[in-house]
């Protein structure tokens, strides 16, 4: 027999002897006095009973001693070969912070491992007999969540084989996957909405802080804030719904519904939460550090649900949060709303746990750290780079150490290295003297050698890991695309009689100007090499042009185009191309509002001109989305007003208003607003855009020429486009548009890789290779399926999406799409069969895609292709409404100008399959690297009047050794119970003894 | 006597009685209450009863001549009455310290109760024109009031009873022997005591009294607590008379104690039965009519036997 707290045995033993004796002595001081005459009989009786009374007294003493000794024994928590007595059935909910910062080493051990040991000890502690339950929650997602270990799941099913027979387990891992994805999407949307809110609030505050705040602008900002808040609310609700759904799904999951021997099925909500001790132990041992930041809000809501669902079964409930107490996980002091929300959540938990005793929620601090140097960010000047152009890097490093290190760390020097495509590591210039607590951003010009071969490259930058307790945040990767040039097709809608009159006159002056904007910015004498290669054409010559040869197509004041050209252009954008539309005085509004709008190339319809040429007054312009690359730098380096940080005031001589759609499926992204409002109070955007498939459309509502010819283009204060800003603007815009893929290619860890897939990428064989895997070896990749082929609103109609959630490793991933015609055929058929309710227009579009693809794969030109197509359509499409579609397809088959046709020869070289390779980089969100811990005062203030305690892990570990009772909150209950037992025994003794006398 | 008859029977209750100070009043109350409660009893109107006639001899008081008989028979006959049996009652009251025990303040102590018995009996007896004497004692008889029918003597008795001498010891046996020696004529001896003495000694004294053909009535007095031993808590018993204090837990002792008491009383009872003494066990909560009835039944028996 072992005792968890032997001291209790000693104390209890002493008490066991002392207390009864004291009781006896105490009793002897309390007696009544009476005179007595019949003493003789009393003496006789006494003589007769003396022996027996003495015996009885001894027995009483012995019993009292035994009761106390038993209590002492219980308190000492003895254990005999695993069988343990339990004071109470407890539901212990453990929240384990597995964000990567808990991987920091203290005293040579990872805090995370230490925390695991502590929890394991708790689970093995004698307090937890059968009937007690433990739920384990991790604050961050890990790989283990996603059922990747199918073997394990199968094994579980086998183990429980017989027992599960009578339980109808309806568990579909695919559904779970879907639910998980939805949750992630919602989280991402939530995050975006929060960003919008933050920006709007910031702008609002700024405006209000001015001397003369503009009420209109304030109202508009307020409106934006309201919108964002409403959005946040919606997303939050949806998120909660999805989580509830996930919980339901998982309740049916075999390894989350363990059964005890008593046949009682206990189900806990989250996948990582389980009440079965063995399962918890396994989950605990398997728990990994996650690189995804901790999500406390969601974890706490899961905790609350878990506590609620176990409402009746347990006598006591307790929540233990094992964390490194990073300040980032708690609301900041000044932000009262966050504080309220946080407190509400904790109160919910306390209520669900049904108690207010102190220590109900226990934070266990596993923090404590020494040195951490972090590579916060690395950005190339552009993600699309011209061949032979040196690449400049902007590197941000932070020294999050809380003390001076030793060795190299002592010099506070960040030694940087880089590698290209996982090749040899090379040195970068070091960053000197970054003291603990400091963050430094450094621009490293000519840091990387120029690339001479076009292609996609993954570049990884590392900080030396010596003397770093948390090495995981010391590397970052990014993807750059090296090109010969950015090809721009500029369609001049108003060529004029001589070049000066051309709509493109100033554009053509500006675009070949530079290849390196930074040089332009800093050194006026810089003679640039051009990387933007613009080719001008007119609408008359547009038919027959292969848009796929260009990165960007500019429609400058184009009156109208043939519908076929428009649909070609739309497909080109969906496949990743970009279109810029500028609206001059020649445009045909009907064309733009009907043909262009329906094809998706116009996010909104064109309204009335809001600034007729006669009106020359200046208007203010402000960037609505200053983070959009095309204007971000403009806001910072506006040469008109370097201090204003805004594009104001400038003059715009003519602009088109837009008709604000009431319900708009297409996302309108306002980039720059004009400060001119319509009746509804909405400002009209000067610059806006929207995504269409993989590509992007940007509309500029003012002409490119305007009245430029009347002014010196480089004269200040004329028009913001008439300066070097104009040159810069176009370069930023063209780089941004040529680089539409880079949005998809740079992810935070845990963020899903989701890329709209163009029709010609349709395939059933898509593989993603995590960092380190060999893209040539298909077994090392993860096969991903296309998501939602018929599309959702967000995914823009029928275009499918390549979706991959499991981005939990840092570094560069490779995507390979193996495209076969048979796969396509089956896919199309599946889609049509699975989606009986698909709109006929969607089918029509789908069939159009198939047509293109078939042309792409055709082995023979001519009638054979038509036969193949007819065969496929006969297989796939039935119903009268398809007849016109078929006819339309038939006519299109003979369009010799089909640009896709040109590609077939290239693909034949690849054994019939077309292989598309893409790459993306996953980086750490270093928000958790700043190991700033919550101030203890603030912690106490935050948890004021809540039954929350904070203890260090050292204290906890000490308590494991010799704890008095399992939880302090239970001590009074426990003592009361002991007293009750004692009293009951006393009363029993008293009645037994006196009854015998009567 | 109309006043007396109106007095309720409540004065037979020792609890009520305990509130009355004056002993003589008490005695009258008791007797009056008793008689009021017994107005249909066969003993009613027994006070002076005609016994027999005998021939007049010179020296007899003329007031006792039965003139009606003389008128019929021309002879002198004397009416012989009960009073002329010369009945004497001797009341022996134990005033030792043990009699002071009083467990309940609402009830009289044994001594108080005994005094009531003595006084009311004396009163009753004198009311019947019989002679009554009082012998208070502890280890010895310390005062003697010879039997008399005179009312002055009754007042003396009351006075003695009011101020008894408390003795440290009891000696029932020798006292009884002493009484047997002193009292020549046959009479009724009424013993009021807790008899906390060896029963053997008591038996010896009793035997002598019986031998002199006295009728003996024993009122064996107990406090209620002495019979039930109702103590639940640790108690310090302060011994009366010669005993020391004793601190003990009464609960485990109760059974043995009650056995002892039972044994004692049954022994006394046995002794009385054997000697044909009339034995009555009285506790201080007993109503006094029991006591008076006992006396009167004995008295009636004695008359029949005579």
- Inter-chain touch B101–A36, beta carbons under 8 Å: yes
Specify the higher pLDDT residue, A112 or A644.
A112
Share of chain A above pLDDT 90, in %: 2
Domain spans of chain B?
2-40+86-305, 50-83
**Residue count (chain B):** 306
Say yes or no to pLDDT of A983 above 70. yes
Q: For A48, which of B237, B240, B256 is closest by C-beta distance?
A: B256
- Alpha carbon distances (Å) from A350 to A303, A360, A947: 10, 7, 8
Q: Tell me the torsion sign for CA atoms A285, A286, A290, A295.
A: negative
- The residues, any chain, with a CB within 8 Å of residue B174's CB and separated by 6 or more, are B139, B140, B201, B205
Residue A491's pLDDT is: 92
Interface contacts (A, B; CB < 8 Å): 108
Residue B66's pLDDT is: 82
Say yes or no to pLDDT of A85 above 50. no
Q: Identify from B246, B249, B252 which residue to disrupt to test chain A contact, counting A C-beta atoms within 10 A and taking the largest count.
A: B252
- Inter-chain touch A37–B110, beta carbons under 8 Å: yes
Say yes or no to pLDDT of B51 above 90. no
- Inter-chain touch A37–B235, beta carbons under 8 Å: no
Share of chain A above pLDDT 70, in %: 62
Q: How far apart are the CA of B95 and the nearest CA of chain A, in angstroms?
A: 13
- Inter-chain touch B101–A35, beta carbons under 8 Å: yes
**Any CB–CB contact under 8 A between B223 and chain A?**
yes
Which residues of chain B are within 8 Å of residue A31 when distances are taken between CB atoms? 233-236, 247
Say yes or no to pLDDT of A555 above 90. yes
Instruction: Quickly state the pLDDT bin for A793 (edges 50, 70, 90).
Output: very low
A832-841 CB contacts, 8 Å cutoff, 24+ apart: A832/A876, A832/A877, A835/A790, A838/A790, A840/A881, A840/A882, A840/A885
Mean residue pLDDT across chain A: 70
Residue A870's pLDDT is: 60
**Contact (Cβ atoms closer than 8 angstroms) between residue A46 and residue B254:** no
pLDDT tens sequence across A408-423: 556 678 888 999 887 8
Instruction: Quickly state the pLDDT bin for A716 (edges 50, 70, 90).
Output: very low
Considering the segment(s) B2-40+86-305 as one domain, its CATH architecture is 3-Layer(aba) Sandwich (3.40)
Which residues of chain A are within 8 Å of residue B234 when distances are taken between CB atoms? 27-28, 30-32
Tokens of B209: 């009294």
pLDDT tens sequence across A200-243: 888 888 877 777 767 777 777 888 888 888 788 777 777 777 77
Q: State the average pLDDT over residues A440-461.
A: 84
Residue B42's pLDDT is: 35
Residue A580's pLDDT is: 93
**Any CB–CB contact under 8 A between B9 and chain A?**
no
Distance CA B121, CA B27 (A): 8
Q: How far apart are the CA of B288 and the nearest CA of chain A, in angstroms?
A: 22
Residue A43's closest chain B neighbor by CA? B257
Distance CA A608, CA A619 (A): 17
**Widest pairwise Cα distance in chain A:** 148
Q: How far apart are the CA of A979 and the nearest CA of chain B, in angstroms?
A: 23
Lowest mean pLDDT across A30-39, A307-316, A549-558: A307-316
Closest residue by Cα to residue A881 from A921, A909, A842: A842
Residue A649: asked if its preceding bond is cis (omega within 30°), the reply is: yes
Distance CA B135, CA A807 (A): 120
- Alpha carbon distances (Å) from A156 to A149, A162, A249, A345, A694: 11, 12, 17, 34, 43
**Contact (Cβ atoms closer than 8 angstroms) between residue B133 and residue B272:** no
Distance CA A724, CA A638 (A): 10
Q: Angle formed by the axes of helices A39-75 and A971-997, to 10°? A: 150
Domain spans of chain A?
2-84+975-997, 99-162+173-367+930-952, 373-479, 486-740, 744-923
Specify the higher pLDDT residue, A15 or B201.
B201
Which residues of chain B are within 8 Å of residue A45 when distances are taken between CB atoms? 253, 256-257, 259-260
- Inter-chain touch A45–B256, beta carbons under 8 Å: yes
- The residues, any chain, with a CB within 8 Å of residue B223's CB and separated by 6 or more, are A37, B101, B102, B103, B107, B109, B110, B283, B284
Q: Which of A114-118, A268-272, A316-320, A558-562 has the highest mean pLDDT?
A: A558-562
Residue A425's pLDDT is: 87
Q: Which of A426-440, A826-840, A972-986 has the highest mean pLDDT?
A: A426-440
- Inter-chain touch A31–B233, beta carbons under 8 Å: yes
**Contact (Cβ atoms closer than 8 angstroms) between residue A319 and residue A93:** yes
Q: Which of A842-851, B153-162, B261-270 has the highest mean pLDDT?
A: B261-270
Say yes or no to pLDDT of B207 above 80. yes
- In A400-551, at which residue ranges do the beta strands (DSSP E only) sit? 414-420, 426-431, 439-448, 455-463, 475-483, 486-492, 532-538
Using a 10 angstrom Cβ sphere, with 0-12 exposed, 13-18 middle and 19 or more buried, the burial of residue A25 is exposed
- Alpha carbon distances (Å) from A209 to A120, A195, A335, A428, A504: 54, 21, 19, 43, 42
Lowest mean pLDDT across A87-91, A690-694, A786-790: A786-790
pLDDT tens sequence across B234-259: 888 888 777 788 888 887 788 888 88
**A865-900 burial, b if ≥16 CB within 10 A, otherwise e?**
beebbeebbeebbeeeebeebeeebeeebeeeebbb
Q: What would the DSSP string read from start to end of A894-910?
A: T-TT-GGGGGHHHHHTT
Tokens of B95: 């005033």
Q: For A997, which of B101, B194, B255 is closest by C-beta distance?
A: B255
Say yes or no to pLDDT of A297 above 50. yes
Specify the higher pLDDT residue, A108 or B120.
B120
Share of chain B above pLDDT 70, in %: 79
Q: How far apart are the CA of A56 and the nearest CA of chain B, in angstroms?
A: 9
Residue A45's pLDDT is: 83
**Residues 243 to 282 of B: which have CB under 8 A from any A CB?**
243, 246-249, 251-257, 259-261, 264
- Helix, strand or coil for residue A912? coil
**Any CB–CB contact under 8 A between B194 and chain A?**
yes
- Inter-chain touch A37–B99, beta carbons under 8 Å: yes
pLDDT tens sequence across A861-898: 455 555 655 665 565 555 545 555 555 544 444 333 33
Say yes or no to pLDDT of A168 above 50. no
Q: For B237, which of A27, A36, A56 is closest by C-beta distance?
A: A36
- Helix, strand or coil for residue B231? coil
Phi and psi for A100 in degrees, rounded to 5? -65, -20
Q: Identify from B194, B260, B262 which residue to disrupt to test chain A contact, counting A C-beta atoms within 10 A and taking the largest count.
A: B260
Q: State the average pLDDT over residues A347-363.
A: 78
- Inter-chain touch A41–B103, beta carbons under 8 Å: no
Residue B40's pLDDT is: 37
Residue A868's pLDDT is: 58
Q: For B261, which of A27, A41, A56 is closest by C-beta distance?
A: A41
- Inter-chain touch A39–B239, beta carbons under 8 Å: yes
- Alpha carbon distances (Å) from A255 to A175, A248, A249, A320, A547: 16, 14, 12, 23, 53
Mean residue pLDDT across chain B: 77
Tokens of A522: 């800093």
Instruction: Quickly state the pLDDT bin for A553 (edges 50, 70, 90).
Output: very high
Residue B255's closest chain A neighbor by CA? A997
Which residues of chain B are within 8 Å of residue A998 when distances are taken between CB atoms? 254
Which residues of chain A are within 8 Å of residue B101 when distances are taken between CB atoms? 35-38
Tokens of A763: 């395939």
Instruction: Quickly state the pLDDT bin for A827 (edges 50, 70, 90).
Output: very low
**Contact (Cβ atoms closer than 8 angstroms) between residue A5 and residue B194:** no
Residue A581's pLDDT is: 93
**B224-244 burial, b if ≥16 CB within 10 A, otherwise e?**
ebbbebebeebbebbbbbebe
> For residue A786, what is the enclosing H or E element?
strand A786-787
Instruction: Quickly state the pLDDT bin for A316 (edges 50, 70, 90).
Output: confident
- Inter-chain touch B253–A53, beta carbons under 8 Å: yes
Residue B197's closest chain A neighbor by CA? A40
CATH of segment(s) A373-479? 2.60.40.10
**Contact (Cβ atoms closer than 8 angstroms) between residue A891 and residue A850:** no
CATH of segment(s) A486-740? 3.40.50.880
Lowest mean pLDDT across A429-433, A487-491, A518-522, B165-169: A518-522
Q: State the average pLDDT over residues A650-671.
A: 68
pLDDT tens sequence across B70-103: 888 888 888 765 544 557 888 889 888 888 888 8
Distance CA A50, CA A915 (A): 107
Residues forming a β-bridge with A459: A420, A478
- Inter-chain touch B252–A33, beta carbons under 8 Å: no
Has the ipTM of the complex gone over 0.85? Answer: no
Place of tokens 């946040």: A232
Say yes or no to pLDDT of B33 above 70. no
- DSSP H helices, chain B, are 2-6, 14-17, 23-37, 67-73, 110-127, 151-162, 172-182, 199-211, 224-228, 254-275, 288-305
Q: State the average pLDDT over residues A525-530.
A: 54
Instruction: Quickly state the pLDDT bin for A75 (edges 50, 70, 90).
Output: low
Say yes or no to pLDDT of B278 above 80. yes
Say yes or no to pLDDT of A556 above 50. yes
Q: How many other β-carbons are positioned within 10 Å of the β-carbon of residue B186?
A: 15
- Inter-chain touch A41–B264, beta carbons under 8 Å: yes
Residue A838's pLDDT is: 44
pLDDT tens sequence across A923-968: 888 777 777 778 888 888 888 888 888 888 777 777 655 443 344 4
pLDDT tens sequence across A574-622: 777 899 998 888 889 999 998 898 888 888 889 888 765 555 555 666 6
């Amino acid at each position: 027999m072992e005792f968890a707290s032997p001291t209790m045995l000693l104390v209890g033993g002493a008490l066991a002897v002392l207390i009864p004796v004291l009781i006896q002595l105490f009793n002897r001081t309390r007696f009544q006095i009476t005179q007595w005459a019949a003493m003789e009989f009393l003496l006789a009786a006494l003589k007769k009973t003396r022996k027996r009374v003495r015996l009885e007294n001894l027995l009483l003493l012995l019993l009292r001693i035994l009761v106390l000794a038993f209590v002492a024994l219980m308190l000492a928590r003895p254990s005999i070969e695993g069988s343990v007595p339990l004071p109470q059935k407890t539901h212990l909910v453990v929240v384990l912070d597995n964000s990567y910062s808990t991987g920091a080493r203290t005293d040579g051990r990872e805090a995370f491992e230490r925390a695991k040991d502590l929890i394991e000890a708790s689970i093995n502690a004698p307090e937890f007999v059968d009937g007690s339950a433990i739920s384990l929650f991790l604050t961050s997602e890990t790989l283990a969540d996603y059922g990747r270990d199918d073997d394990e799941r199968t094994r579980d099913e086998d183990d429980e084989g017989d027992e599960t027979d009578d339980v109808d387990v309806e568990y579909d891992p695919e559904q779970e996957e879907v639910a998980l994805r939805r949750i992630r999407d919602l989280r991402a949307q939530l995050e975006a909405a929060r960003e919008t809110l933050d920006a709007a609030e910031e702008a609002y505050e700024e405006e209000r802080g001015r001397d003369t705040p503009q009420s209109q602008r304030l109202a508009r900002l307020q409106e934006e804030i309201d919108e964002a808040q409403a959005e946040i609310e919606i997303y939050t609700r949806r998120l909660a719904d999805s989580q509830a759904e996930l919980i339901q799904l998982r309740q049916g999951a075999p390894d989350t519904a363990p059964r005890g021997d008593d046949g009682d099925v206990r189900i806990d909500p989250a996948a990582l939460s389980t009440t079965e001790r063995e399962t918890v132990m396994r989950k605990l041992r398997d728990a990994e550090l996650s690189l995804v930041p901790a999500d406390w809000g969601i974890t706490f809501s899961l905790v609350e649900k878990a506590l609620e669902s176990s409402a009746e079964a347990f006598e006591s409930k307790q929540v233990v949060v094992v964390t490194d107490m990073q300040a980032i996980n708690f609301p900041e002091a000044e932000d009262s709303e966050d504080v309220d929300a946080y407190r509400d959540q904790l109160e919910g938990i306390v209520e669900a746990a049904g108690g207010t005793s102190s220590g109900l929620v226990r934070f266990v601090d596993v923090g404590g750290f020494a040195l951490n140097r972090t590579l916060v960010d690395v950005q190339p000047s552009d993600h699309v780079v011209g061949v032979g152009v040196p690449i400049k890097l902007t590197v941000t490093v932070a020294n999050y150490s809380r003390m001076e290190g030793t060795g190299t760390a002592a010099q506070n020097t960040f030694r940087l290295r880089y590698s290209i495509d996982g090749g040899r590591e090379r040195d970068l210039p070091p960053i000197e003297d970054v003291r603990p607590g400091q963050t430094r951003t450094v621009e490293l010009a000519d840091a990387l050698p120029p690339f001479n071969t076009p292609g996609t490259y993954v570049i990884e930058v590392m900080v030396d890991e010596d003397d770093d307790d948390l090495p995981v945040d010391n590397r970052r990767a990014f993807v750059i695309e090296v090109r010969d040039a950015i090809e721009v097709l500029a369609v001049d809608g108003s060529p004029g009689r001589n070049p000066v009159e051309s709509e493109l006159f100033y554009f053509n002056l500006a675009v070949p100007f530079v290849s390196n904007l930074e040089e332009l910015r800093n050194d006026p004498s810089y003679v640039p090499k051009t990387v933007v290669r613009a080719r001008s054409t007119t609408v008359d010559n547009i038919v027959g042009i292969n848009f796929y040869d260009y990165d960007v197509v500019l429609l400058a004041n184009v009156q109208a185009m043939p519908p076929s050209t428009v649909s070609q252009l739309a497909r080109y954008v969906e496949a990743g191309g970009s279109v810029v539309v500028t609206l001059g005085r020649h445009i045909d509004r009907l064309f733009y509002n009907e043909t262009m709008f329906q094809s998706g190339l116009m996010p909104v319809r064109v309204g009335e001109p809001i600034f007729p040429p006669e009106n020359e007054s200046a208007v203010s312009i402000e960037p609505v989305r200053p983070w959009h690359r095309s204007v971000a730098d403009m806001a910072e380096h506006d040469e008109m007003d370097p201090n204003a940080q805004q594009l104001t005031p400038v003059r715009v001589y003519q602009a088109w208003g837009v008709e604000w759609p009431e319900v708009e499926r297409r996302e309108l992204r306002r980039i720059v607003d004009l400060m001119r409002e319509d009746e509804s109070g909405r400002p009209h955007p000067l610059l806006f855009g929207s995504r269409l498939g993989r590509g992007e459309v940007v509309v500029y509502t003012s002409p490119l020429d305007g009245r430029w010819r009347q002014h010196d283009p480089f004269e200040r204060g004329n028009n913001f486009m008439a300066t070097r800003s104009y040159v810069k603007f176009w370069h930023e815009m063209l780089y941004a548009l040529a680089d539409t893929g880079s949005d998809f290619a740079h992810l935070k860890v845990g963020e899903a890789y989701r890329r709209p897939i163009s029709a010609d990428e349709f395939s059933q064989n898509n593989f993603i290779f995590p960092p380190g895997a060999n893209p040539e070896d298909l077994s090392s990749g993860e096969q991903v399926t296309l998501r939602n082929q018929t599309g959702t609103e967000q995914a823009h109609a029928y275009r499918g999406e390549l979706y991959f959630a499991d981005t939990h490793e840092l570094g560069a991933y490779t995507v390979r799409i193996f495209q076969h015609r048979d796969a396509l055929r089956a896919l199309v058929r599946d889609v049509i069969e699975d989606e009986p309710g698909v709109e006929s227009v969607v089918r029509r579009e789908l069939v159009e895609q198939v047509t293109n693809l078939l042309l792409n794969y055709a082995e023979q030109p001519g009638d054979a292709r038509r036969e193949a197509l007819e065969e496929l359509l006969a297989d796939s499409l039935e119903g009268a409404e398809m007849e016109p579609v078929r006819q339309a397809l038939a006519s299109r088959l003979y369009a010799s100008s089909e640009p896709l046709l040109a590609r077939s020869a290239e693909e034949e070289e690849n054994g019939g399959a077309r292989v598309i390779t893409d790459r993306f980089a996953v980086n750490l969100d270093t928000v958790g690297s700043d190991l700033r811990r919550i101030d203890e005062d603030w912690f106490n203030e935050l948890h004021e009047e809540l039954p929350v305690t904070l203890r260090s892990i050292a204290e906890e570990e000490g308590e494991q050794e010799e704890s008095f009772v399992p939880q302090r909150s239970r001590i009074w209950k426990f003592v009361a119970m002991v007293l009750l037992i004692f009293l009951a025994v006393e009363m029993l003794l008293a009645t037994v003894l006196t009854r015998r006398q009567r | 006597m109309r006043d007396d008859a109106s007095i309720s029977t409540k004065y037979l209750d020792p609890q009520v009685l305990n509130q009355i100070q004056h002993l003589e009043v008490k005695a009258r109350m008791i007797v009056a209450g008793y008689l009021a409660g017994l107005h249909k009893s066969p003993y009613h109107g027994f006070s002076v009863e005609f016994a027999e006639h005998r021939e007049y001899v010179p020296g007899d008081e003329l007031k006792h001549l039965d003139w009606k008989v003389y008128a019929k028979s021309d002879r002198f006959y004397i009416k012989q009455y009960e009073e002329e049996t010369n009945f004497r009652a001797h009341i022996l009251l134990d005033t030792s310290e043990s009699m002071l025990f009083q467990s309940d303040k609402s009830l009289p102590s044994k001594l108080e109760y005994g005094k009531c018995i003595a006084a009311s009996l004396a009163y009753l007896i004198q009311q019947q024109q019989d002679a009554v004497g009082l012998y208070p004692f502890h280890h010895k008889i310390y005062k003697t009031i010879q039997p008399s029918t005179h009312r002055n003597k009754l007042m003396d008795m009351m006075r003695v009873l009011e101020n008894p001498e408390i003795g440290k010891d009891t000696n029932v046996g020798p006292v009884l022997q002493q009484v047997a020696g002193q009292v020549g004529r046959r009479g009724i001896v009424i013993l009021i005591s807790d008899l906390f003495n060896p029963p053997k000694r008591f038996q010896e004294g009793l035997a002598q009294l019986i031998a002199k053909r006295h009728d003996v009535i024993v009122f064996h007095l107990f406090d209620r607590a002495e019979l039930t031993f109702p103590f639940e808590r640790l108690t310090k018993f302060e011994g009366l008379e010669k005993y020391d204090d004793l601190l003990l837990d009464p609960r485990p002792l109760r059974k043995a104690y009650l056995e002892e008491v039972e044994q004692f009383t049954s022994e006394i009872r046995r002794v009385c039965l054997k000697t044909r003494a009339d034995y009555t066990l009285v506790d201080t909560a007993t109503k006094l009519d029991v006591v008076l009835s006992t006396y009167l039944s004995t008295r009636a028996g004695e008359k029949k036997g005579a």
